[in-house]
């Protein structure tokens, strides 16, 4: 138990912070109920996938600057393919877009491995390329989404054996998020590949000498990142019903949440749970600011300040760790 | 015009080895590495020739003046990138800073004295530069993340500011319009600002202690710190200078575009990075110079004209710029590894 506490200390602290924020929210707005929580979960969805995408790569010792652009591209692709198409067609669109994210992510990794240009430059160049591609697919916000996809993340679903009061607090968006992340993350974490990802993030040389296929692992880590980003893009299309070619502030948010979630920017440490809780914390802060009737533009400034402060703090910790 | 890198000078003498013993490919590579300006100018000329072939008669005095006019703001912003890249950084907040100073200038000039308006316009530039510098220099945040964050905050502030000045309206000061768009005897007036500025940057990088520190920090940060350089002071000063340059660019650009908006200089950010990379500045630091960047900015401006004539959409342009950055960086990496 003691061991568990020490290993998960950061995540538990973060969870306590989240609970404290929920209590604060309830104090500010006594009427805050399950419906509001549902919209919070819906708002968190694209951010959470962006963070998951970033987390995989950061654990592998890299960074992916093209996360937001990848989300924009997958989102517009999905939206333009589904515009005016039949409901069944979307059944084909979803796997197609996910495969596209996977392949483009693998391309990121492949370019890093083949050209030996540092990840930060490759993904920056890919950011330009993917943004351009998104603009080519859809010049202005538009497109559409299948009704069943939109319904997938709105409202709640009755779960047998649970009282309605509890069920109301489990919005579909949250369930979709948990399902998608668990289906990919848990098997990954237990597999050889997952171990390799942690290994190359921890020490590339040591991993190489112990026989870990470093190049292949790196490519797969970026491919998984692309897959998560594609989920994020789909989530964007699902929640707004359209696709927008200009990416939102997901890149900075993903890095901030990764840092806040206890994943060291050097790699090899941390898990997915911390960053996901961190996303909820960051979003809930925004909700609170909105509930306090603060101008949305000012909210954006405060949010930016918090994210920058978090990233600065994380960098400071990393630096300290390196000096010792 | 390869600038000798004073602190980390690499072995430059090819005379030790007889030319015959080196294979041709390697000699070309070495030539490109030593004189990056020559292939760049050749590329520029080729692009202009292609343009002339596609649209006979387009290349005339007016076109040249126009190209230079549009290349200058890009070249100054690319100067920010060049200087930050020399230390291994990057400044993605230049677009926001330029937009902020331009917007504040255009709105404050209505009620304020021009000098006061100018100072007000430069204040956010200094502040953002300072925060960038502290974040990168003291806290060691990656410059890309840091400048992205400050640009997000800056855009938010600008949106709040915009609402306070909706009533007063905006106007473009005559002087800025003259500077941005005017042409005297075939020469754009913007050159009056750009030539001294460019000379100053080239001089600073090549001949002053600050310039040497930038190269040194980018080349080997640890060694520089061990030899007594206060890293954070250099970086903070650098990012403030970079932001100030971006602010000045904003003022020039508003005189050129003449329509203040909240995303005025944003489209210049990606090309400015590309221009510095094309100009031979290494994104990892320690290599490069401003003269190459200027030619890079000219190349990109001509390339943009070419793409417009070919009716290539904005998206394709971005893809191309991204591929250019990737390809050129990979190519330079090969050349450096070869030495």
Cβ(B258)–Cβ(B172) below 8 Å: yes
What percentage of residues in chain A have a pLDDT greater than 90?
Answer: 18
CB contact under 8 A, B319 and A133: yes
CB contact under 8 A, A121 and B325: yes
B124: domain range? 63-282+290-309+326-338
Residue B106 included in any domain: yes
* Adjacent-strand bridge partners of A156: A171
CB of B182 within 8 Å of any CB in chain A?
Answer: no
Q: Out of A111, A305, A311, name the one closest to residue B326 (CB).
A: A111
For residue B152, what is the nearest residue in chain A, using CA coordinates? A304
CB contact under 8 A, B139 and A315: yes
- Which chain A residues are Cβ-neighbours of B155 within 8 angstroms? 300
Residue B15 included in any domain: no
Total domains, chain B? 1
What is the reported pLDDT for A322?
66
Q: Which of A3, A18, A319, A44 is nearest to A176 (CA)?
A: A44
CB contact under 8 A, A316 and B146: no
CA distance B154 to B272: 19
What is the reported pLDDT for A324?
59
CA distance B293 to B1: 12
CB of B267 within 8 Å of any CB in chain A?
Answer: no
User: Helix or strand or coil: residue B184?
Assistant: strand
CB contact under 8 A, A319 and B140: yes
- The enclosing H or E element of B187 equals strand B187-188
What is the reported pLDDT for A100?
93
Longest CA–CA span in chain B (Å) reads 74
Q: Give the count of alpha carbons within 13 A of B61, CB side only.
A: 6
Q: Which letter, b or e, does each residue of B253-288 get, where b requires 16 or more Cβ atoms within 10 Å of its Cβ?
A: bbbbbeebeeebbbebbbbbbbbbbbbbbbbbbbbb
- Tell me A303's DSSP state: H
CA distance B252 to B73: 7
Which residues of A lie closer than 8 Å to B, measured between beta carbons?
Answer: 63, 65, 111, 115-118, 120-122, 124-129, 131-137, 139, 245, 249, 251-252, 255, 295, 297-298, 300-301, 304-305, 307-308, 311-313, 315-316, 318-319
Helix pair A172-190, A214-240: axis angle to 10 deg = 170
- Residue of A68 and A150 predicted with greater confidence: A68
CB of B39 within 8 Å of any CB in chain A?
Answer: no
Residue B56 included in any domain: no
Chain position carrying tokens 């470093």: A214
Burial zone of A130 (CB within 10 Å; 0-12 exposed, 13-18 middle, 19+ buried): buried
Task: Check which CATH number belongs to the domain holding B91 and give it.
Answer: 1.10.3470
For residue B132, what is the nearest residue in chain A, using CA coordinates? A308
CB of B313 within 8 Å of any CB in chain A?
Answer: yes
- Which chain B residues are Cβ-neighbours of A135 within 8 angstroms? 313-315, 318
CB of B323 within 8 Å of any CB in chain A?
Answer: yes
Residue B295 included in any domain: yes
CB contact under 8 A, B156 and A319: no
User: Helix or strand or coil: residue B192?
Assistant: helix
CA distance B79 to B77: 5
Chain position carrying tokens 């050209």: A115
CA distance A220 to chain B (A): 21
| Complete DSSP assignment for A69-126 | HHHHHHHHHHHHHHTT--TTHHHHHHHHHHHHHHHHHHHHHHHHHHH---HHHHHHHH
- Which chain B residues are Cβ-neighbours of A136 within 8 angstroms? 313, 315-316, 319
- Which chain A residues are Cβ-neighbours of B315 within 8 angstroms? 131-137, 139, 245
Residue B299 included in any domain: yes
What is the reported pLDDT for B20?
56
Cβ(B245)–Cβ(B138) below 8 Å: no
CA distance A103 to A87: 25
CB contact under 8 A, A120 and B139: no
Q: Which letter, b or e, does each residue of A248-280 get, where b requires 16 or more Cβ atoms within 10 Å of its Cβ?
A: bbbbbbbbbbbbbbbbbbebbbbbbbbbbbbbb
Highest mean pLDDT, choosing among A80-89, A211-220, A241-250, B47-56 = A211-220
CB proximity list for A101: less than 8 A, separation 6 or greater: A70, A74, A226, A227, A228, A229, A230, A231, A233
- Which chain B residues are Cβ-neighbours of A301 within 8 angstroms? 153, 156-157, 160
Categorise residue B228: left if φ over 0, alpha if ψ from -120 to 50, beta otherwise.
left
pLDDT in tens, A117-166: 888 888 888 988 998 999 988 878 877 777 777 777 777 777 766 677 67
CB contact under 8 A, B319 and A132: yes
Q: How much is the ipTM here?
A: 0.80
Q: Out of B131, B149, B313, name the one closest to residue A252 (CB).
A: B149
Cβ(A101)–Cβ(A69) below 8 Å: no
Helix pair A34-59, A67-82: axis angle to 10 deg = 120
Q: Which two tokens stand for residue A140?
A: 């202005």
Residue B166 included in any domain: yes
Residue B45 included in any domain: no
pLDDT in tens, A158-201: 776 667 767 777 788 888 888 888 888 888 888 888 888 888 88
User: Helix or strand or coil: residue A243?
Assistant: strand
Q: What is the CA radius of gyration of chain B?
A: 21
What is the reported pLDDT for A102?
94
- Which chain B residues are Cβ-neighbours of A120 within 8 angstroms? 142, 144
Residue A5 CB coordination number (10 Å)? 9
Helix pair A273-291, A296-323: axis angle to 10 deg = 150
- Which chain B residues are Cβ-neighbours of A307 within 8 angstroms? 149, 152
Residue B18 CB coordination number (10 Å)? 8
CB of B331 within 8 Å of any CB in chain A?
Answer: no
Q: Which two tokens stand for residue A320?
A: 């300290």
pLDDT tens for each residue of chain B, 339 residues long: 444 444 444 444 444 445 556 677 777 766 666 666 777 888 888 888 888 888 887 778 888 888 888 899 999 999 999 999 888 888 889 989 999 998 888 888 888 888 888 888 899 999 999 999 998 888 888 888 788 888 888 888 888 888 887 777 777 777 777 777 777 787 787 788 888 888 888 888 888 888 888 888 888 888 888 888 888 888 899 999 999 999 999 988 888 887 788 778 888 887 888 888 888 787 777 788 888 889 889 988 888 888 888 888 888 888 888 888 788 778 777 776 655
Report the residue of B271, B322, B336 to disrupt the A interface, i.e. the one with the largest count of A CBs within 10 Å: B322
Categorise residue B219: left if φ over 0, alpha if ψ from -120 to 50, beta otherwise.
alpha
CB of B139 within 8 Å of any CB in chain A?
Answer: yes
- Which chain B residues are Cβ-neighbours of A245 within 8 angstroms? 315
Size of interface A-B (CB pairs under 8 A): 124
CA distance B75 to B83: 12
CA distance A320 to A300: 30
CA distance B145 to chain A (A): 7
CB contact under 8 A, B148 and A252: yes
- The enclosing H or E element of B176 equals helix B174-181
């Amino acid at each position: 138990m003691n061991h568990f506490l020490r290993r998960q200390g950061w995540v538990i602290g973060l969870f306590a912070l989240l609970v404290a924020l929920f209590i604060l929210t309830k104090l500010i707005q006594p009427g805050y109920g399950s419906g509001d929580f549902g919209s919070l979960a819906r708002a968190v969805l694209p951010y959470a996938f962006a963070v998951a995408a970033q987390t995989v790569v950061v654990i592998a010792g890299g960074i992916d600057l093209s996360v937001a652009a990848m989300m924009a591209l997958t989102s517009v692709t999905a939206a333009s393919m589904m515009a005016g198409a039949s409901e069944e067609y979307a059944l084909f669109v979803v796997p197609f877009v996910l495969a596209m994210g996977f392949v483009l992510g693998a391309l990121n990794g492949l370019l890093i491995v083949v050209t030996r240009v540092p990840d930060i430059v490759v993904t920056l160049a890919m950011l330009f390329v993917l943004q351009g591609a998104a603009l080519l697919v859809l010049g202005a916000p538009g497109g559409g989404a299948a009704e069943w996809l939109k319904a997938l993340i709105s409202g709640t679903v009755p779960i047998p054996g649970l009282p309605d009061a509890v069920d109301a607090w489990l919005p579909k968006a949250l369930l979709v998020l948990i399902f998608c992340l668990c289906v990919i993350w848990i098997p990954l974490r237990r597999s050889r590949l997952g171990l390799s990802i942690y290994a190359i993030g921890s020490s590339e040389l040591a991993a190489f000498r112990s026989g870990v296929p470093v190049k292949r692992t790196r490519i797969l880590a970026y491919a998984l990142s692309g897959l998560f980003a594609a989920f994020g893009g789909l989530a964007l299309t699902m929640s707004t019903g359209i696709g927008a070619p200009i990416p939102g502030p997901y890149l900075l948010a993903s890095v901030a949440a990764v840092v806040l979630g206890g994943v060291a920017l050097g790699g090899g440490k941390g898990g997915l749970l911390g960053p996901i809780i961190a996303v909820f914390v960051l979003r809930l802060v925004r909700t609170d600011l909105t509930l306090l009737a603060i101008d949305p533009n000012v909210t954006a400034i405060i949010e930016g300040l918090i994210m920058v402060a978090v990233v600065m703090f994380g960098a400071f910790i990393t630096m300290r760790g390196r000096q010792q | 015009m390869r600038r000798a890198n004073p602190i980390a000078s690499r072995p430059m003498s090819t005379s030790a080895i007889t030319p015959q013993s080196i294979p041709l490919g390697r000699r070309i590579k070495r030539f490109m590495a030593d004189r990056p300006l020559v292939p760049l100018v050749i590329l520029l000329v080729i692009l202009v020739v292609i343009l002339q072939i596609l649209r006979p008669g387009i290349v005339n005095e007016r076109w040249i003046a126009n190209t230079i006019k549009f290349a200058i703001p890009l070249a100054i912003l690319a100067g920010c990138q060049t200087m930050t890249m020399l230390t291994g950084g990057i400044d993605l907040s230049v677009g926001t800073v330029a937009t902020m100073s331009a917007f504040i200038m255009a709105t404050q000039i209505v009620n304020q004295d021009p000098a006061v308006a100018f100072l007000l316009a430069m204040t956010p530039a200094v502040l953002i530069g300072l925060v960038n510098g502290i974040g990168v220099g003291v806290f060691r945040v990656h410059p890309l993340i840091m400048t992205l964050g400050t640009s997000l905050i800056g855009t938010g502030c600008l949106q709040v500011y915009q609402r306070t000045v909706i009533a007063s309206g905006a106007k473009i000061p005559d002087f800025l319009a003259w500077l941005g768009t005017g042409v005297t005897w075939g020469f754009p007036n913007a050159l009056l600002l750009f030539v001294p500025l460019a000379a100053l940057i080239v001089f600073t990088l090549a001949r002053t202690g600050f310039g040497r520190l930038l190269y040194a920090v980018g080349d080997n940060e640890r060694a520089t710190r061990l030899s007594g350089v206060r890293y954070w002071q250099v970086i903070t000063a650098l990012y403030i200078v970079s932001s100030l340059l971006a602010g000045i660019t904003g003022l020039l650009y508003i005189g050129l575009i003449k329509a203040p908006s909240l995303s005025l200089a944003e489209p210049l950010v990606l090309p400015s990075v590309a221009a510095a990379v094309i100009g031979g500045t290494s994104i990892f630091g320690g290599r490069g110079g401003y003269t190459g960047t200027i030619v890079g900015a000219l190349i990109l401006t001509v390339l943009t004209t070419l793409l417009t004539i070919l009716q290539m959409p904005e998206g394709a342009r971005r893809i191309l710029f991204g591929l250019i950055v990737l390809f050129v960086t990979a190519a330079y990496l090969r050349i450096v590894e070869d030495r």
